[in-house]
């Protein structure tokens, strides 16, 4: 496909951008603890610049110490940070991209001093903020202007004023948080006055030709906040103040979808951005689950916006833009909107965030594909996420790799995991891994059972066992083995469970998603879980939407309930010391998770080469660990 709009040049004020792609400001948490620029942060952003992005907007940088919102956040609060910022801008310019520093104060989301225009509790917490005086507001304005001057001195091409996501300036412009009665409150002119004075001050101190972007919520996603037409009105006021770009996002203070899970529609901020675009003459950019180049091109061709702000798709693949330009869409590592590592799990590497699908992300200085000093002959058994990653990464390092799998299609447990509602992107991930295997000439054999004789006949130097897990059926529960239960995998593999009334044993993520799937297909479902929370492993934003769907289906959730006996049509369970019987079910579904499936390791006791066991074959865990450990295994052969 020819992306004639996406790869056309654009302008923001006087600044020329080589294409219509902008890297969204997303926290990588890679700055040094004191807020100065680190080598890993430079490497992370430079990889995206090398990948073809037109403009990088850095993650938020606090303009004064009280405004810090997170550990390892960039500082622009003093002149001492300028040399490090200059190292960053030099590196990005060498790669042919432009770079913008996002200026921010945490406000009610500060980890130093919780403060706000009015003493109103944050939506998701009960912490009373300090209510700023008029003098405080003028100091804040001065701090933003001073930060912009430092950014210009450090070589940034422009700055962005952060007025969204529940940070301090969002609280000023939003009626949800602003009840002030001085000049910075009241009507829309008063609520925008702080942002207006900041923009005017930056233009005065840095020059009219120094571009200023403003990040605005298209919708605050709270009932008494700003919505699309309010945002459009604010955008007009900020344009008159001198803003050169309106960069539309959405949500505030943990409400809405600042970072959206997979159940949120693609391009969910587009409609408010279009509202803004209809009333301003300056360009408008939009972010929000725009994860495929074809979709970005469509928005530009329709004239909805002028620039596409790409977020987690660049976490997943730093070369997203270059691959699209080269027609290599099948090699783009997809964002599956899982929130497992970019938003929730720091996981492997300590402070580092990352991407579940692409473990190289944000580890640019520590994880690299390099030619193997001694190429080896490698046999991988199992084409789930762990095995596929081990295979393609090893092949990319120069090893000769054969991958064998019993299934008709590759994917392992991801084949079932992609079936419940809003999980289809997991199939995209498998397709990507398979394409990478093909690119690096992995010999792939499906419907092939591996045994010790076959493995030894291949004569590998290394055997990687990634044979996954099998459903767990606790033999300690009386009646379970004889009750004629079906497994959640059988249901997700397309088996129509008998009848219409189902009992799901296990309310972890596997059981909850199976119940979601069955509820969507008309089953009357009850879920029983021994913990006091359903789907506790899920990210809170994803879990919230999952529970809403279960409620819509009428799914009954029994928590803090321990199964004591299983019957063909029900169970006895214990709750609060009382034994209770429920019955009358047509189907009982086992969703207790899985246990390792690893018969080959014992058969290879006398094998002369190296044996590595990965994923659930080693220990029942999750996709995060399977993908990460598979990647590391491929690198370290």
Pairing of strands 462-465, 610-613: parallel
DSSP string, 525-588: EEEE-SSSSTTTTS-HHHHHHHHHHHHHHT-EEE-S-EEEEEETTEEEEEETTEEEEE---SEE
DSSP state of 334: P
539: confidence class by pLDDT, cuts 50, 70, 90: confident
The alpha carbon of residue 456 and the mean position of all alpha carbons in its chain are separated, in whole angstroms, by: 41
CA dihedral of residues 348, 350, 353, 358 (deg, nearest 10): -20
123: confidence class by pLDDT, cuts 50, 70, 90: confident
92 and 86 Cβ atoms separated by less than 8 Å? no
106 and 167 Cβ atoms separated by less than 8 Å? yes
pLDDT per residue as tens digits for the range 419-433: 999 999 999 999 999
> Mean pLDDT of all residues in the chain?
95
Q: Which two tokens stand for residue 537?
A: 């492993």
Which of 44-53, 301-310, 375-384, 535-544 bottoms out in mean pLDDT, i.e. has the lowest? 535-544
Which of 82-96, 110-124, 504-518 bottoms out in mean pLDDT, i.e. has the lowest? 110-124
255: confidence class by pLDDT, cuts 50, 70, 90: low
1: confidence class by pLDDT, cuts 50, 70, 90: confident
Mean pLDDT of 397-405: 98
DSSP state of 372: -
Percent of the chain at pLDDT > 90 equals 91
Q: How far is CA 485 from CA 333, 470, 490, 506, 522, in A?
A: 38, 15, 10, 13, 19
Strand 443-445's sheet: what is its strand order? 443-445, 400-404, 377-381, 462-465, 610-613
> Looking at the predicted structure, is the pLDDT value of residue 485 above 50?
yes
Cα–Cα distance, 103 to 238 (Å, whole number) = 16
Cα–Cα distance, 540 to 151 (Å, whole number) = 36
> Looking at the predicted structure, is the pLDDT value of residue 475 above 90?
no
User: Both ends of the chain: CA-CA distance in Å?
Assistant: 38
Mean pLDDT of 135-164: 98
> Looking at the predicted structure, is the pLDDT value of residue 353 above 70?
yes
The residues, ordered by sequence, that sit 6+ positions from 1 with a Cβ below 8 Å of its Cβ are 293, 294, 297, 327, 329
* Cβ count near 263 (within 10 Å): 17
Cα–Cα distance, 391 to 382 (Å, whole number) = 10
> Looking at the predicted structure, is the pLDDT value of residue 347 above 50?
no
**Which 3 state secondary structure label does DSSP give 439?**
helix
Cα–Cα distance, 75 to 67 (Å, whole number) = 10
**Which 3 state secondary structure label does DSSP give 442?**
coil
Cα–Cα distance, 340 to 623 (Å, whole number) = 9
Written in H, E and C, the secondary structure of 396-423 is HCCCEEEEECCCCCCCCCHHHHCCCCCC
453 and 379 Cβ atoms separated by less than 8 Å? no
Largest Cα–Cα distance in the chain? 82
Q: Give residue 73's pLDDT.
A: 95
Give the residue numbers marked as catalytic.
167
DSSP string, 53-111: -SEEEEEEEESSGGG--STT-EE-SSGGGHHHHHHHHHHHHHTT-EEEEEEE--GGG-S
What's the CA angle centered on 617, arms 613 and 622, to 5 degrees? 110
The residues, ordered by sequence, that sit 6+ positions from 561 with a Cβ below 8 Å of its Cβ are 528, 529, 530, 573, 574, 575, 580
> Looking at the predicted structure, is the pLDDT value of residue 259 above 80?
no
Q: Give residue 348's pLDDT.
A: 40
Mean pLDDT of 13-24: 98
Map tokens 């009850």 to a residue: 526
Q: Give residue 349's pLDDT.
A: 42
Mean pLDDT of 357-368: 95
Mean pLDDT of 341-369: 79
Q: Give residue 94's pLDDT.
A: 98
84 and 43 Cβ atoms separated by less than 8 Å? no
Backbone angles phi, psi at 582, to 5 degrees: -125, 140
Mean pLDDT of 98-102: 98
> Looking at the predicted structure, is the pLDDT value of residue 124 above 80?
no
What count of Cα atoms within 13 Å lies in the side-chain half-sphere of residue 475? Answer: 1
Residues forming a β-bridge with 57? 100
**Which 3 state secondary structure label does DSSP give 130?**
strand
Q: Tell me the domains of the chain and their CATH numbers.
A: 10-331 (3.20.20.70), 377-471+598-635 (3.40.50.720), 480-592 (3.50.50.60)
Backbone angles phi, psi at 519, to 5 degrees: -60, -35
Pairing of strands 594-596, 469-471: antiparallel
Cα–Cα distance, 540 to 555 (Å, whole number) = 19
pLDDT per residue as tens digits for the range 586-634: 999 999 999 999 999 999 999 999 999 999 999 999 999 999 999 999 9
pLDDT per residue as tens digits for the range 506-537: 999 999 999 999 999 999 999 999 999 999 98
Percent of the chain at pLDDT > 70 equals 98
Mean pLDDT of 60-65: 97
**Which 3 state secondary structure label does DSSP give 445?**
strand
Q: Which of 121, 163, 115, 158 is nearest to 139 (CA)?
A: 115
125: confidence class by pLDDT, cuts 50, 70, 90: confident
556 and 546 Cβ atoms separated by less than 8 Å? no
Q: Which two tokens stand for residue 444?
A: 């792939």
DSSP state of 255: B
Q: Which two tokens stand for residue 409?
A: 């299609």
Q: Which two tokens stand for residue 142?
A: 């001065």
pLDDT per residue as tens digits for the range 206-243: 999 999 999 999 999 999 999 999 999 999 999 999 99
H or E element, residue 40 = helix 39-50
342: confidence class by pLDDT, cuts 50, 70, 90: confident
């Amino acid at each position: 496909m020819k992306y004639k709009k996406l790869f056309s040049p654009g302008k923001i004020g006087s600044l020329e951008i080589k294409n219509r792609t902008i890297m969204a400001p997303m926290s990588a948490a890679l700055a040094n603890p004191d807020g100065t620029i680190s080598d890993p942060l430079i490497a992370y952003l430079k990889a995206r610049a090398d990948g073809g992005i037109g403009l990088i907007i850095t993650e938020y940088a606090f303009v004064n110490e009280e405004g810090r919102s997170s550990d390892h956040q960039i500082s622009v609060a003093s002149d001492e940070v300028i040399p490090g910022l200059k190292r960053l801008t030099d590196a990005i310019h060498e790669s042919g991209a432009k770079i913008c520093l996002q200026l921010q104060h945490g406000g009610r989301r500060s980890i130093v001093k919780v403060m706000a225009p009015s003493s109103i509790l944050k939506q998701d917490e009960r912490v009373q903020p300090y209510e700023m005086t008029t003098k405080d507001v003028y100091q804040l304005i001065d701090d933003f202007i001073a930060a912009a001057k430092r950014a210009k001195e450090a070589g940034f091409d422009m700055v962005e004023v952060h007025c969204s996501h529940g940070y301090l300036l969002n609280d000023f412009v939003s009626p949800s948080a602003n009840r002030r009665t001085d000049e910075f409150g009241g009507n829309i002119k008063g609520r925008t006055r702080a942002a207006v004075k900041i923009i005017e001050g930056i233009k005065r101190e840095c020059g009219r030709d120094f571009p200023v972007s403003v990040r605005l919520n298209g919708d605050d996603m709270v009932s008494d906040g700003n919505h699309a037409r309010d945002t459009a009105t604010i955008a007009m006021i900020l344009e008159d103040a001198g803003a050169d770009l309106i960069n539309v996002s959405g949500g505030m203070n943990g409400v809405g979808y600042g970072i959206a899970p997979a159940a949120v529609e693609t391009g969910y901020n587009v409609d408010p951005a279009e509202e803004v675009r209809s009333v301003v003459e300056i360009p408008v950019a939009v972010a929000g689950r725009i994860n495929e180049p074809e979709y970005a091109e469509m928005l530009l061709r329709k004239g909805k916006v002028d620039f596409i702000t790409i977020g987690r798709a660049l976490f997943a693949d730093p070369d997203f833009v270059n691959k699209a330009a080269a027609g290599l869409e099948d090699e783009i590592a997809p964002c599956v909107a899982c929130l497992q590592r970019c938003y929730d799990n720091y996981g492997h590497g300590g402070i580092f965030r990352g991407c579940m699908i692409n473990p190289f992300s944000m580890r640019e200085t520590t994880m690299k594909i390099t030619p193997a000093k001694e190429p080896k002959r490698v046999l991988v058994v199992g084409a789930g996420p762990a095995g596929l990653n081990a295979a393609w990464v090893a092949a990319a390092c120069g090893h000769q790799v054969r991958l064998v799998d019993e299934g008709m299609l590759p994917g392992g447990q991801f084949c079932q995991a992609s079936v419940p509602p809003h999980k289809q992107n997991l199939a995209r991930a498998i397709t990507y891994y398979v394409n990478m295997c093909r690119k690096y000439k992995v010999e792939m054999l499906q419907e092939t059972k591996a045994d010790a004789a076959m493995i030894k006949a291949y004569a590998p130097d290394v055997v990687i066992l990634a044979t996954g897990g099998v459903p767990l059926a606790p033999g300690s529960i009386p009646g379970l083995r004889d009750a004629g239960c079906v497994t959640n995998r059988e249901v997700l593999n397309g088996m129509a469970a008998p009848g219409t009334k189902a009992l799901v044993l296990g309310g972890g993520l596997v059981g909850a998603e199976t119940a979601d799937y069955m509820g969507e297909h008309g089953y009357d479902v009850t879920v029983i879980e021994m913990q006091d929370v359903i789907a506790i492993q899920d990210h809170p934003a994803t879990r919230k939407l999952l529970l809403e769907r279960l409620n819509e289906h009428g799914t009954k959730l029994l928590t803090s309930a321990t199964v004591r006996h299983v019957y063909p049509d029900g169970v006895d369970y214990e709750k609060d010391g009382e034994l209770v019987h429920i019955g009358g079910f047509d189907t009982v579904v086992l969703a207790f998770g899985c246990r390792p499936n690893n018969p080959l390791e014992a058969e290879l006791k006398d094998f002369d080469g190296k044996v590595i066991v990965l994923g659930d074959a080693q220990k029942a865990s999750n996709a995060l660990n399977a993908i990460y450990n598979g990647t590391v295994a491929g690198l370290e052969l």
